[in-house]
Each structure stands twice: as C-alpha cells, then as structure tokens.
Structure 1
Amino acid sequence: MPSLTLTESRTRAADLAVTAYDVHLDLTSPEAFTSSTTVHFTSRTAQTFIELADAESVQATLNGVTLPAQAYADGRLALSDLQERNELVVTARLPYVTNGDGMHTFTDPADGERYVSAYCGMDIASTVFACFDQPDLKAPITLTVDAEEHWTVLANGAATSSEAGRWSFTSTPPISTYLFVVCAGPWHSVTSTHRGLPFGWHARRSLADDLDRQAPELEAITRDCFDHYTQAFTEPYPFDSYEQVFVPGQNWGALETPGCVTFRDEFLFRGEPSAMQRQARAMVIAHEMAHMWFGDLVTMKWWEDSWLNESFADYMGYQVAATAAGYVDSWIACAQTRKPQGLRADALRSTHPIAEDAEAMVDVDTAFGNFDMITYAKGNAVLRQLVAWLGEEPFLAGVNAYLGRHRFGNADLADFLDALDAATDRDVRAWAESWLRSTGFDTIRIERRDGVPILHRDGSRPHRFTVNGYAADGQLVGTELVDLAGEPVALPAFRGLAVVPNAGDETFAQVQLDVVSKEFVEQHLGRIADPLVRAVLWRGLVEMTRSGRTSVEDFLKLVARHLPIEEHAMVFEGAINAAQVFVVNELLDPARLDEAHEVLAATCTLARHRHPVVATRVLTSTTTDTELLHGWLEDDATDLGAALDQEQRWAVVRRLVELGGDPAMIATEEERDQSAAGRLAGLRCRAAVPTAEAKQEAWSQMFDGEPANRDFTALSDGFWTPGQHDLVADYLARLVAEAPGLAERRGQAFSKVVGHAFPHIAWPLEVARAFREDLTRALGSGELPTVLAREWNDHLDELDVTLAARSRNS
C-alpha cells in the first residue's frame, strides 16, 4: 500500500468530513478476521479514496450501489459519484500479523491461550478497518466485536454488553483513526473505580501472579497521575473509562489509545526491577495519560507536529511522575538516559527542527522517521527549558487555553503559540524560533579571568539554568540562577571555585568544563552531595569519551574510583549502563574488551551490597568467573543470599554459554521456564552460543522466514554478542544485503525493528571500516525502504563517532 502523502491528506481534509464509523470485527477464527465498517461522511468532491490494507474478499457499497471489484487496488478503495452525504459499507477478510503493525496475534506458550490486539498508529488503522486514515479526519467510532466466549474484549469505549461472545462498546467522542484499539483474549484483570470512572489493569492470564503482585503500585501511580491531570487541566477527562493493558508484541513502549492504553508486557516485571526500571514505568504511565488531553483530545493536523504530542507527554511524564506519583528522582533518570539520547540525535545528519515544516513530511513513511529522539528527548528537554524560562503558571495557562480552544479537534504549532502568547508578556514566538525551528545544540564553556569563571555560549539560543560553585574539599559553596545568551556571564562570587553549569539540568546543551572544574570532578565526583549533579556530570563524561576528548582508559579509571562508592541507585545504574553500552562495547578494540570487562566486573563486585539488582546484572554479563556463575545457578541464589529470579537465571545461562558452557543448559532452563519470556530468552541464548553452527541457525531464523518482531529482536541480540566479532564479522555484508528485503516485506514498524538490531559492538578497525563502506554504498543506491534508510543513516553517523574516537585513542 502506498504511503499517504501530505498532498493527498490536505486534499481529503478540504473535501471530506467524517460523521461516524460503525465497525464490527469478528475475531473468532484463528486464520483471519472479518472487518465490516459503515462510514458516514460528507463530501465536496465527486471522488476520493478510502484505505483498507491487505484485504481479501472485499465487498463494498456506496450509497446503496455495489462497487466493482477493480475499485480496490493497492490498499485503496476508489470512491466515485460521491454525494453531499454518503454512506459507505465495506466488508473484508483481513490477515492477522505478528509484526506489531495491525491486528497482532499471539499464542501464549505457557498455556496455549490466544490473544488478538489491534495496534494501530500511522498508516496502520486501515489494516484493521476501512477508514480515511489521517489524523485530521476525526470521527466517533462505535465498535462491536465477536470473540471467543471466554475472552474479555477491551476498546476505546466502555463495554455496554458482552453476551455469548458479542461485545458492544459506547461510541467514542471524535478521535483520529490511528488511535483506534481493541484487545481481545482471556485477560486477567484488576479493576476498580476512581472518580466515578471504571479503571483497570489487564495482562495475559499466565501473568496473573505478576499483575496481582504489582497491582497496588500500578493502581497508585494511575490514581495519583489522574488526580494531578484532572486538577492541572481545566478540560475534564474526555473519555468514559481508563483501561491499561500489558499486551504481547507491542512495537512501542506504549500507545496512547484513548480510554484503553496498551503497554508492552515487558513493563510487567517478572523479577526484581531496578530503580530506573520502576521509574521508567511510572514515567510511561504518566506520559500516556498526558496524551488523553494532549494528543487525543487535541490532535495535530499532520505529522510534522507530532512533537506537540510527544514532547509534551514526555516532559509531563517525567514531571508528573516526580511531583505526583512519588518518583521524586525522575529527572535524575532523564538526565542519564533521555537527555543523552536527544543530544546524540541532534548530532546526526538526520536531525531536524523539533517543530518541522509540514512540507518536509512528504508522506507518512517519511514522517514515521521523526518519531525519534529529537521529537521525544530533545522536545522534552526544550519544554523543560521553556517552563524554566516562562514559569510553570503561564505555561499551564497557555496549555489550558490551547486544549479548550481546540477540544476534539486538530491544531498546529501556530495554535499552540497563540495560546502561550496570550498567557505571558514574554516573547514566546522568538523563543520558539530559536528553540523549536532550528537544529543542533549549543555548548556552554567556562573560561577564567583572574580566577573568575566566565560562562560563554557557543550557539544562538537563550538559556536559563543553575550554576553550582564548589570548594576544593568538595563542598557546595553556592548556587546561582543564570540567564546566558549572546553576552558572556561572569560569576565573581565563584572566584577560584570549581563550577558546574546546568547543575539542575534545566537546559539542553553540552557543557565543557575548564581545567579547574574538570580536575575537581575527577577528584570528588562520587562525593558531590546532589545526585542530580552527579548524574549530569556522568553524562558529560560519557560524551567526552565518545567525542575523544578523554580516553576510554581515563574514563574507566573514574568508573573504578567513583562508582563503587555511589550511593544513589539511579546514578549508579545510569553510569554503569552507559559505561558498558556506549563506551566499552562500542569504542574499544575487541582485543581490549576483556580488560575493560574486568574493570566493570570489579566495580560491580564492590557495589553489589549497595545496588544488588543492577550490579549483579552487569557483573553477570562481564565476569569470566564461571565457577561463580555455576554456583549461582545451582544454588538458585547469588552470594548475596537472595534467590535468583527467572530473568537473572537466564542472564547467567547466557553468560555461561557465551563463555563456552554446554548449550544443553538452555533446554534445561526452558523446561523450567515455559513462559513467553522464557521462549525468547532461549532464542537469545542459542543465538549467543559461540559456534559457527549456532550463528548460522540464528541467522536463518531471522532472515529466511517471517519471524515475529520479538523473535527477531531476541535472536539479533544474541547473535551480535560483544567479543564474538570473529564469528560474525562475515555476516555484516549479509546484513546489508538481506535486511532491506526483510524490511520491505514486513512493513513500517518491522523496518524499525530491523534498524534497531544494528550491531553496535566492538569491531576490529578494518572490519568496521569495511562495514561502513558497505553501508554507504547501500544508502547511496536510493533503493532502501524509507524507514530502514533513516535508521541506517543514523547508525552510520554513530559508527563514524566510534571510528573517530578509536582513531584518537589508538
């Protein structure tokens, strides 16, 4: 099916108004499902088209007249002889998918139960029902579903009846088609009522114990966030229920489908989560709930304004998790995970303004690429800077004016700025031009004159942030709030002191410390009192190493010196994970990998009593002490005395087979863990077995068939194991040759899955350079699928960062 273009979208928006969708889905057959849709719409033109992807046995009548079979082609049904008011009825048989794009089917290996869920999104709703699939043709949707009698069905509206497997739901308010959802299967549910609305958490039946155990925390987060939003926003909650479902096979972290949010079921933890995992889940819950207003109630007109949805929700996710849901250290997690993603994305050739020009989003496939870390991470950071610059009260006043003025409609950047402009006397349009309509990040530098630190800005944006001054013994002397624009800012109160600009992480910029401050950090990092400052500094150290301004060896010395004494769980987790993933596994010559792993393993050994979950994970993946690992597995507990959970057991099994252990232990563990997660862990472990036969088998499973999205990710994760470069180097050329065909066959979201499976591991320089040449040729051909080309272009830039750092450190 061709990707919908901006021109086509504008034409249909000008010509059509959709009054209502009545959708009936029959999900009782495991082979395919039947979709029947009645669309009421008005038209100012005689002809248009409606989307319906991959359909068979299409039958359609327009205003009582049967349409010819040839009217349906390439996923579009041509409509002609339109009247002012029209009724279109379309019935078709449609395929289930396993790639997360459409009506996803999943059979749980734990109990054989089947689950079917519609995951929509950009250009995807038409794989479920016939629709005018663009965000600015909103309409109420009324749904009925035929399902297995023992199933529960969840959807955008509240269920009104469910007799004999026939489920009916209330009509939604006007919503965009990409926000449609239905989730069907024998869900285990935890339900309640809050503020007069039905609330629920749902998961696969085999995950019932996990859901019951975590339900009190999940329900508390939901209630606290909901109470916050209903007080902060003047528009009432716009839907009639709030269901949240842990679903299998979701490509995104979660989808903000109104009234019924879907989360990938990995968010339902099987073992003991880390502090950052718990925070991340709370943030995502708050993020998706913010969308009920910002994105669902008011929606962008076209995809260039996807930031209006995602940047806002991402900012609110961290802020509300911190201020309302009790996860007070959310901004520490953001400083170490989200902010670096934004800075790295902004250094790529694919960077773009947060608020992109509509004309740049020529079609949906192109726009899909902009659901990236510019839109999420940088947009989040820039909105945080806006609140610091504008003030929270004027910001919320503008947001409420925007939501009230465009409720159940569509809006764009100009509408948002109009609302903010009316709430403040500050020049928000100039601010938006500087921050939202430009690319790249500024750098804040420190110079000294007679011992006085002077802040300089390399760039063009106004910044408001805090600066901390520290004495030589590591104690905080003072804090100043600084506005830095075109003119340097001197800090005479901090004469002779080390200084940390952006200590509260309020702005989006790189920071370059002067010699005095850098030496202070090297000496005192682990003892600086404020954990947010430590998080900001660790982020800076990682980026300095990636840019080659400090060596990997010097960075690892700081890891070994400061992380064993790090007291804050999320600071430790963010720093040790970044050290392993973005420094050791990417920047080192593989001949030095064992030495670096020894540093990480020793650091985690010292830190395990303080941070048992994360330190044990990293120790497991870096140690070469097979006796230690076998002891854990055989005793079902670590030497800390705590029983291994199932995820920890699988991590131990994987490391043992990586180190040459008997692969038969994989089957033993699979017998113990017959869950869906256990099945994926088995695939991952078998792909990590260090033999040519295991690698060939894993490759065949990835590329010779039609793997489910989760299977592909698990297999590729095991296949590209750090330290196994000699075994898999020859597959790099095969990846470049074979991945485009798989991405083309499997579609938009699976292309992103393939792109995310890029092998960022330590390679010999000559191998990395040859791989770069192959990638460059493939990208230069112009023949790659749009989404995969965007992913690979970004990875090519990141590979160049690695090559440059390696060259400087060699």
Structure 2
Amino acid sequence: PPMSTYITAVVAGPYHLVESSWSRGDLTVDLGVLCRASLAQYLDADAIVEITEQGLDFFAEHFGYPYPWGKYDQVFVPEYNLGAMENPGCVTFTESYVFRGAATAAQYQGRANTILHEMAHMWFGDLVTMKWWDDLWLKESFADYMGSLVSAEATEFTDAWVAFANRRKAWAYLQDQLPTTHPVVADIVDLEAAKLNFDGITYAKGASVLKQLVAYVGRDAFFEGARRYFRAHAFGNTTLDDLLTELSATSGRDLTGWARAWLQTTGVSTLTLEPAGSDGFEIVQSDPRPHRLAVGQYDFDESGNLVRRYRIEVDLEQRRTRVDLADAPLTLLNDDDLTYAKIRLDTRSLATVEESLDRITDPLARGLVWSALWNATRDAELLATRYVTMAQRFAPAESNLALLGSVQTNVATAIEHYLPEAARSGYRRAWLDSAWAALHAADPGSGAQLAWARTVAAAAVYDDARAADIRAVLDGAAPPPEGLALDPDLRWSLWLALAATGHADAADLDGELTRDDTGSGRTAHLRALAARPAADVKATAWTAILTDRSLSNEHLDATIAGFRAGGRRDLTARYDTDYFAAIRGVWDERSIEIARRIVVGLFPDTDTVALADGWLDAHPDAPGALRRLVLEQRDHLARDLRAQLVNRP
C-alpha cells in the first residue's frame, strides 16, 4: 500500500525472532518480535505478543478499518535515537524495553503504553498522514492518548491513567511553561523545527486535550468521527480541519471555538480554590480557558482513610467561577483528571495531605495530590524541603509504582536543583538514609524493593555514607536484601555510585566489565569510568564528547552522564565558558541528534544566567533549533535559581 516516505525503514542484522499470529474474521496478521541475539534470553516475547493482540482487538473493534499493513513485526533495536517509531508493519523500539533483570510493574506498564502508542499510529499517522509538520499532533497526540486508553481498557494495566496524570502531564506542564512553548497545532518553518517539535506539547498536552475532547463530544461520537476520518482519507494527507469536520458531524457540536482555545493557544492555567464570603468558594484560573472539570471533596472514614464524599462537575469559562462546596479536610480540583491545568491545594487541604497523604485510597486522587505538590515546588510556591520531607514520610508507603518512581525522581531534582548548594549535603544524606531504610523494609522480591534499590544507587552517587555497604554487596562479602536480584543493570548502577564518590577505580570497573561484557555492559562501563571524581578523568571525557566522532549515540550519552555524575561543580565549572564557545560549531558540524545531546547534556549548572544570555545576545543568527535548546536550558537554570533563593534557610 502507499506509504509516507518518512516512515520508511531498513532493519538488518542477525536478529533473534519469535513468531506468532493474530486473527479476526477473515484477517490474519503475522506477528514477529525481534531483538539482537545476545538479548534473546531476556526477551519476554509472550508478554509482548499478549499486549499486541489485546491492542489489535481493541483497534479492530473501535476503528472500523482493518489493520492495513499485512504483517506486524516489532524490533528492539540497539543504539536507537528514539523510544520507538511506527514504521508500517515493522515497528522499531529502543532495546531498553528488553529488561535484563527484574522490572517493576511501572516499567511493564510503560512498555505496554509504548507498544499501543505505536500500534495506534498504524491508523493515526500511517493510514492517514498529516500534510505538514504543523499538524504533527494529528498522529502523536492521538497515539499518546490511545496508549493510555487502550492500556486501561484492554490490558492488565487498568490504572494507566494514573501514570498519565502524574508523568505524561508533568512533561506537558514543564514544556508549556518554557519560553519556547508553542500551540498544539504549531507553526513549523523548517525540518529542524519539526525535529524539536516531538515534545511534551505535541505528545502529552495534545493527549490531555484529546481526553478532554472525548468528554466534551462523547465517546461514541469521538470514535464514530475517527471511523469516518479513516474511511474518507485512507492513504492520504489531512489537516486539522479534516478531523474537526468529522467530529463536528458526529457530535453535533461546532468545534471551531474548542480548537481555538485548546489547539491554537499556549500556556497552562493554574487553578486555585478561594473562599467566597461566608457561604461558598470560587475556583480561580490564572489564564482563563473553557474547562469541564470535577471537584472532589474527601473526608476521613471510620478507618481513618481519606475517601471521596462529594463530587460535582463544573464548567469554567471566566477567571472566577463560584462553586457550591462545603468545607472539607481535602478539596481536590480537577478530580478524575478531566482537564489540562495545574492545581493548587488550599491551606486546609495542604495541611491534611501533609499529615495524611498515605490515607488517600484512590491512586488517581493520590497521584493528583502528588502532582499538585510537585508543581507548587517547581514554581517555588512550596518549599522544596517541605516536599522532600513529605516524600521521606509517605513515599515508602506508596503502592502505585508509577507514582513512587515519579516521587523518587522529583526528590532528587528538588535536592540537586531547588535547594541552595550549601543546604544539599544534609538532605542528600537524609534521602539516602530514607531510601536505604525503605529498601530493607520492602517486601522481598517486590517491585517496591527494586525501585528503592535503584533509588539507593541514584542517591549514593551524591553521598558516600553507604559506600562500604554497597561495596560489600557487590564483592559478595555481604548478601543483598532478601529477594533482591543483583541483575547486571543494578550492579552497574551501584558501581556508578562508587565510582562517582571515589570508592571504585578503573580496575574495579574493568572487573565488572569482564563479568558483563555485553553491549549494555560496555556502555555502563564507559559511564562509570567518566564518573570518577578526578580532573584528568573529566578532561578526557570532555575531549571525547566534543571530538571523538566514533562515539555511538549511547556511548556519547554515557560519557556525558559520567562527566556530570555527582554534581561535582568543583571539577566541571572550568568548562562553562568552553561550552558556550563550542556549541555553535557542534551544531554546524554534527548531526542534529548528536548535537542536541551535547547541547542539552553539557549545559552548565552555573549560579547565574549571564553566560547563556551573553551567548544568545552574541548569536542572534544561530539556527532557530539551536537557539531554542539554549533558551530552554537557560529557562530551566533560571527556575532553579529562583527556587534556590526561596529555599534559602
């Protein structure tokens, strides 16, 4: 069948292949799952095929257009630039989705989401393709939405919307607050701009907006509109208007105003709850847009759990909207996560969750609270120390591993970016101690135990209080916690911690490479070597990053990560001016993917934005894509510095 040129792929190599098939009615689709031979022992092809069949069943039922590409291979590819790519009938994935050891439920859920995301592209993107990159959302937003929807409704991962609310939307909120944000329907002037538009707006904000659209037009009208869209435009190109025409016809709603408000504007509203006199409340939104959202009120039951006692749906149009609410221990705006907006907790609600966050029984509500706390921390409206303290108290009890992973990552960001440098040492030690205690308290063999083991390794990159204990486990002098499997990836993360804190040398790392002399092991070995805290090591890594054209994608990433490991500004600050002197040449001389990794990965954590501002002022003629990356990194740094001012003792 006709195929868009940008989804042409050639995959070659001595791949290991597992074959299966899927049938529905008269249609049979041959299925293949492939990885390189050295990963074959780790390939859980049966689980991948199961998700694939569940997805094909869902799309066959809801899209009303037979799978159009004959066969369906899924190939896990080494050295991949992307997470995955929807080549028709031959989807390619990063091989990090082939787990070399134990994996958490959140990892399996994330992989299922990606499998279903790419499968949705067989229709949204491959069968019907946007005319130009302005309408990239016509494929990516839909695929992102479908990944969570189908996970929740057709697979074992029924809580997929929890991860979406806490992870995907966090990405969107971050991107939408940058100076380079853009509408979901973007103005793409060249292919470099198109490359950088595969971002949190196009994916996660677009998917969030679609979730709201489905609630607005109705599920049946949405899918009937999609079916008409496929039939009308199969193997053709479309624009926004083509889709809105079909959805307007099936829903009976004129979607022009909706599209203008949500697809053609930028920014994210912040919703707060304020008292309105003595007999009610008002919802105040910072950047008025039309919202349909739910407000939930939670109170303690006889067991001491926080459960929802009252729920009301509200249409917001203006800056202030009065709502009929009584006072309650916890009032949650955007309950059920129906709209796209940051929420703030009112004073009483914040006090409640600060004491009883773990008593919220519904994981989606709990996730929305964690999200609200993190957004307030990023915006320097909640002290980072307060967030870290709540995480130390409540994260060990968090049962949803997607939420747990987000909180663990956020704590590290809060400590390393939002606390002043002088305050970090004590919180690094306290977080490592908390993670160490949670690791040993977790159920043996559980996903939580594995998550805390990884967090210990990540925290130990910055603090060496547990270096002797970690060394004893790696050397076999002490057993790991009961039930914890020391798979190759976990061992390397622990060696990285020892290397970054000066407790492992090149001979130690060479010994571990002998134990795991694989492609993945060589990459981890390179990262750990570059992490050692010595000036000559950093100089060697810096030179390799900028001049060694033989470094593959993964080896370049590993060298950059090692160079930055441990936040050792005493060793890396000397390269700040060299960075800004080099990046224009890097952009001109290297591929866009390699250049992007260097420009983003090496951006210095200085205590001022002056160097970035100086470069931007001196290079007004730099390629737009390069200026965008520098502007974004400068904005992240400025946010860090604002937070550090607020968080000074």
TM-score, normalising length from structure 2? 0.93
Aligned with residue 271 of structure 2, among 435, 444, 452: 444
1:280 to 1:758, Cα distance in 2 relative to 1, 3 A: farther
3-state secondary structure, aligned to 1:181:
coil
SS of 2:12 mapped into structure 1: strand
2:546 maps to what in 1? Answer: 703
Selected match of 1:391 from 188, 213, 218: 218
CA distance in 2, matches of 1:731, 1:637: 41
Output aligned runs, 1:378-417, within 5 Å. Answer: 378-417=205-244
Q: CA deviation at 1:375?
A: 0.4
Task: Render the CA deviation track for 1:733-761: whole Å, top value 9, x for unaligned.
Answer: 2222223322322222223222441457x
**1:206-248 CA distances to partner (integer Å, 9 max, x unpaired)?**
111011xx11111111111111111111111111110000011
Task: Give the aligned residue type for 2:429.
Answer: E
Give the drift of 1:493: 4.7
- Show the counterpart of 1:768: 607
- Match for 2:427 among 596, 608, 619? 596
Structure 1 residues 785 and 271: alpha-carbon distance in aligned structure 2, compared to 1, 3 A threshold = farther
CA contact (8 A) 2:288 2:319 kept: no
Q: Name which of 331, 354, 357 aligns with 1:525.
A: 357
User: Pick from 468, 483, 506: which aligns with 1:627?
Assistant: 468
SS, match of residue 91 in structure 2: strand
Is it true that 1:793 corresponds to 2:631 in the alignment? yes
Q: What is the 5 A alignment of 1:607-686?
A: 607-608=438-439, 609-610=442-443, 611-623=448-460, 624-635=465-476, 637-663=479-505, 664-686=507-529
Structure-2 separation of matches of 1:594 and 1:613: 25
Gaps of 5+ in 1: 1-172
CA contact (8 A) 2:171 2:204 kept: yes
Q: Secondary structure at the match of 1:262?
A: strand
Give matches, 1:312-391, under 5 Å. 312-356=142-186, 360-391=187-218
Residues 718 and 797 of structure 1, relative CA distance in 2, 3 Å threshold? same
Matched residues in 2 for 1:795 and 1:549: separation? 21
SS of the aligned residue for 1:721 comes to: helix
Match of 1:757 among 581, 597, 601: 601
Change in 2 beyond 3 A, CA 1:466/1:343: same
Distance (whole Å) between structure 2 residues aligned to residue 272 and residue 678 of structure 1: 16
- Report the 3-state secondary structure (helix = DSSP H, G, I; strand = E; otherwise coil) of the residue aligned with 2:272: strand
8 Å CA contact retained: 2:284, 2:321 = yes
| Structure 1 position 426, deviation (Å) | 2.4
1:563 aligned onto 2:407: no
For residue 488 of structure 1, report the CA deviation from its aligned partner.
Answer: 4.3
Does structure 1 residue 551 correspond to structure 2 residue 383?
A: yes
1:685 is paired with a residue whose SS is helix
Bigger fraction of residues in helix: 2
Q: Secondary structure at the match of 1:537?
A: helix
Alignment equivalent of 2:530, drawn from 653, 675, 687 = 687
Distance in structure 1 (CA, Å) of the matches to 2:133 and 2:192 = 10
CA distance in 2, matches of 1:740, 1:684: 25
Name the counterpart of 1:779.
Answer: 616
1:565 CA displacement: 2.2
SS in 1 for 2:275: strand
**Cα distance between partner residues in 2 of 1:489 and 1:775:** 41
Report the AA paired with residue 690 of structure 1. P
Q: CA deviation at 1:492?
A: 3.3
Give the alignment's Cα RMSD to 1 decimal. 1.7
Deviation by residue 1:693-749 (Cα, 9 ceiling, x = unmatched):
111111121112212211111110111123311111111222222233223222222
SS in 2 for 1:468: strand
1:221 corresponding residue in structure 2: 51
Partner of 2:332: 500
Deviation string for 1:96-115 (max 9, x for gaps)? xxxxxxxxxxxxxxxxxxxx
Query: One-letter code of the match for 1:728?
Result: T
Cα distance in structure 1, aligned partners of 2:438 and 2:323? 37
Q: Deviations over 1:669-705 (max 9, x none)?
A: 1111111110110110011000001111111211122
Preserved contact between residue 420 and residue 645 of structure 2 (Cα < 8 Å): no
Quick one: which amino acid aligns to residue 671 of structure 1?
A: T
Identify the residue that residue 569 of structure 2 maps to in structure 1: 725
Moved more, 240-249 or 550-559: 550-559
Residue by residue, what CA displacement relative to the aligned partner does 1:398-454 show, whole Å, maximum 9, x if unpaired? 111111111000000011111111011223111111100111111211012326333
Q: Which residue of 2 aligns with 1:540?
A: 372
Larger radius of gyration: 1
Deviations 1:180-208 (A, max 9, x none): 01111110000112111110000111111
Q: Note if 1:288 corresponds to 2:113.
A: no
Is 1:236 aligned to 2:61, yes or no?
no
Is contact 1:720–1:759 with CA below 8 Å preserved after alignment? no
Aligned match of 1:14: none
The answer to whether the 8 A contact 1:295-1:308 is kept is yes
Aligned to 1:427: 254
CA distance in structure 2 between the partners assigned to 1:370 and 1:779 by the alignment? 21
Cα distance between partner residues in 2 of 1:324 and 1:471:
32
> Distance in 1 between the 2:573 and 2:567 partners?
11
Distance 2:298 2:433 in 1: 30
Query: 1:573 offset after TM fit, Å?
Result: 1.6
Distance in 2 of aligned mates of 1:387 and 1:361: 27
Does structure 2 conserve the Cα–Cα contact (< 8 Å) formed by 1:743 and 1:754? no
Distance in 1 of aligned mates of 2:639 and 2:325 = 38
Contact 2:307 2:360 in 1 (8 A): yes
1:785 offset after TM fit, Å? 4.0
Matched residue type, 2:565: T
Aligned position for 1:201: 33
Q: Separation in 2 of the partners of 1:723 and 1:747?
A: 28
**CA positional deviation for 1:484:** 2.1
Q: Name the aligned partner's letter for residue 493 of structure 2.
A: A
Residue deviations 1:747-805, cap 9 Å, x none?
A: 22223222441457xx5xxx321xx2222222331354443322221111111111111
- Contact 1:703-1:739 at 8 Å conserved across structures: no
Corresponding position of 1:454: 282
Q: CA deviation at 1:460?
A: 2.7
AA of the residue aligned to 1:672: R
2:297 matched residue in structure 1: 469
2:583 matches 1:739: yes
Letter in 1 for 2:379: S
Q: Does the CA-based 8 Å contact 1:542-1:583 persist in structure 2? A: no
Is 1:186 aligned to 2:14, yes or no?
A: yes
Aligned letter for 2:293?
F
Q: Which residue of 1 aligns with 2:313?
A: 481
- Contact 1:298-1:409 at 8 Å conserved across structures: yes
Q: How has the CA–CA distance of structure 1 residues 174 and 737 changed in structure 2, closer, same or farther, with 3 Å as cutoff?
A: same
**Secondary structure of 2:267's partner?**
coil
8 Å CA contact 2:363, 2:400 repeated in 1: yes
Q: Give the Å deviation of 1:369.
A: 2.1
Distance apart, 1:329 and its partner CA? 1.7
Unaligned runs of 5+ in 2: none
Q: Which structure dedicates a bigger proportion of its chain to strand? A: 1
Structure 2: distance between partners of 1:677 and 1:786? 35
Q: CA deviation at 1:497?
A: 4.6
Deviates more, 1:290-299 or 1:516-525: 516-525
| Residues 1:637 and 1:713: Cα distance change in structure 2 (over 3 Å) | farther
Q: Give, in angstroms, the shift of residue 646 of structure 1.
A: 0.5
